[in-house]
Amino acid sequence: MAIKKGHIVEIEIEQAAYEGKGFGKLEDRAVFVKNTAPGDTVKARIIKKRKSYFLGDLLEVLKEGENRIEPVCKHASICGGCTWQHVTYEEQLRFKRIHVRDHIQRIGGLKDVDPLPTIGGEYQLHYRNKMEYTFGDRRWFTREEIDSGVQLNSKDVALGMHIPGRFDRILNLEECYLQIPVSFKIMDFVRTYALEHNISAFNQVKKEGFFRNVMIRNSHYTKDLMVNLITFADHPEGMKHIADALLEAFPEITTIVNNVNDTQSPTSEGRIERIIYGPGYIIEKIGGYEFKIDANTFFQTNTLQAEKLYQTAREFARLKPDDVVFDLYCGVGSLSLFVSDAVKKVVGIEISPVSVKNARENAQINNVDNCLFETGDMRDVFTDTFIQKYGKPDVIITDPPRAGMHPDVVKTLCELAVDRLVYVSCNSATMARDLTQLSEVYEIGRVQPVDMFPQTYHIETVAELTRKV
């Protein structure tokens, strides 16, 4: 009998697939099941049937694979924050290398490129320096809660993580192990404060309510601690009361910020930003350099692994004292400054004005005078005029967003044909796409995965490119 949607089947999980799902086969088709590990034999319900694959919902693990472990967090199987807590860390690193290799060879068509073993992290828990928790007035109930028979009220203040694929439902977290322990305690305090003072949670559909998000940033080296409260309305007096309560409960907080986002956009960046307490930023260090990080600027979320990532990029660039380096998508200038002592000049380009402001301030803080920064969209700024202004670079380092580089930017890189090009990527699939075109001009050398996000399927990758002779 042909397998249909709703059928319950038994599956042997052969390997890990992208996005953290386990992979097996049914009727010569691929079948993907979340929360499974290679070696598992599982019972699953088919929830989607397509021409080339099935999607299954895990019902029971009949036989555990040798790499399955018990997750630390009770929410691990539901929450979108972690996808691989049930798999040993050694296997996570191996899977990530396989995924990078698969993307480069299958998507990029670069059959001879084999990534190096993944560089792992010292800490697999409590490693993030930033967490953003989301408020909602409709919480998500787990299967255990529904089956308990206890009457449940979904319309309440919930604070936690989005259920994957559901922008309108929030998993009300009771624990979290991604950031330092005080992060969850602060989150829980704000949730309790909202409940006790009858402060409403934002409803994404109706566009009403007060609290939208709680963002917490911490510094590994300086121990600075920021709480950023994102609200739908501007209420300075009320925010002052909340800040006072937070500081009394958590005296280690060094700054409190309120971003007022009264728009339909789900972003945590507010139309209005108020500094309620402290300087409004934190200071972090990477490789001996200090970096000023405002509430809404991008910074690598794993400080210790960022040092390994940057060191790898620096090594692949094979820098020389007379080199001119372009740093594309430079953010707050962290990588620009990290390589600045080895070269003549670094020129960074970044679309975010706040990040460029921070980058210039970071250069001043560190007494670095050979780094310059330009603001603008990469495809508009990275042109012949820009190159004439600063001169042809010897080295280019590019660290684009998940979508990869715009085709115009890739075309410019091919036309420039610099001696050395280093591609830093948070999405090896889009990197592979770009490497295909770049390989017409550049030799692809070493490819190094760096695990910035333990317990998840995400992976950073650094690729070494040199101009073909």
* Cβ–Cβ under 8 Å, residues 95 and 458: no
Q: Tell me: do 101 and 23 sit in the same domain.
A: no
One domain, residues 139 and 261: yes
Residue 58 falls within a domain, yes or no? yes
Same domain, 173 and 189: yes
Q: One digit per residue, pLDDT tens: the chain, 469 residues?
A: 688 899 999 999 999 887 789 999 988 889 999 999 999 999 999 999 888 899 999 999 999 999 999 999 999 988 878 989 999 999 999 999 999 999 999 999 999 999 999 999 999 999 999 999 999 887 776 666 666 666 655 557 789 998 776 666 788 999 999 999 999 999 999 999 999 999 999 988 888 899 999 999 999 999 999 999 999 999 999 999 999 999 999 999 999 999 999 988 888 888 999 999 999 999 999 988 999 999 988 899 999 999 999 999 999 999 999 999 999 999 999 999 999 999 999 999 999 998 999 999 999 999 999 999 999 999 999 999 999 999 999 999 999 999 999 999 999 999 999 999 999 999 999 999 999 999 999 999 999 999 999 999 999 999 999 999 8
Written as six digits, the tokens of 320 are: 């020389």
Q: Which residues pair with 128 in a beta bridge?
A: 179
Same domain, 275 and 340: no
Q: What's the burial of 72, exposed, middle or buried (CB within 10 Å: 0-12/13-18/19+)? A: middle
Distance CA 362, CA 367 (A): 8
Query: Which one of 283, 315, 345 terminates a domain?
Result: 283
79 tagged catalytic: no
Same domain, residue pair 292 and 391:
yes
Same domain? 279 vs 300: no
239: CATH: 2.40.50.1070
> Is 83 domain-assigned?
no
pLDDT given at position 70: 95
pLDDT at 151: 61
140 and 226 in a common domain: yes
Q: What pLDDT is stored for residue 297 in this prediction?
A: 87
User: Are 143 and 257 in a shared domain?
Assistant: yes
Beta-bridge partners for 317: none
Question: Does the residue 240 lie in any domain?
Answer: yes
Domain count, the chain: 3
Give me the CATH number covering residue 61.
2.40.50.140
Domain extent for 29: 8-68
407/431 same-domain check: yes
**Of the candidates 234, 252, 283, which is a domain's last residue?**
283
Sign of CA dihedral 292, 293, 299, 301: positive
How many Å is the Cα radius of gyration of the chain? Answer: 24
> Does residue 84 belong to any structural domain of this protein?
no
Residue 413 maps to which CATH number?
3.40.50.150
How far separated are the first and last CA of the chain, in Å rounded? Answer: 59
Q: Which two tokens stand for residue 140?
A: 């998500």
Interhelix angle 428-438/407-416, nearest 10 degrees: 40
Residue 299 shares a structural domain with residue 399: yes
The answer to whether position 31 is within a domain reads yes
Element housing 204 (H / E): none
Residues 438 and 292 in one domain: yes
Kindly state whether residue 438 falls inside one of the protein's structural domains.
yes
Contacts of 136 (CB under 8 A, 6+ apart): 158, 159, 168, 169, 170, 201, 202, 203, 204
Do residue 278 and residue 293 come from a single domain?
no
- pLDDT number for residue 273: 95
Q: Rounded to 5 degrees, what angle do the CA atoms 307, 310, 314 make?
A: 135
Structural domain includes residue 86: no
Query: Which of 79, 330, 371, 426 is an active site residue?
Result: 426
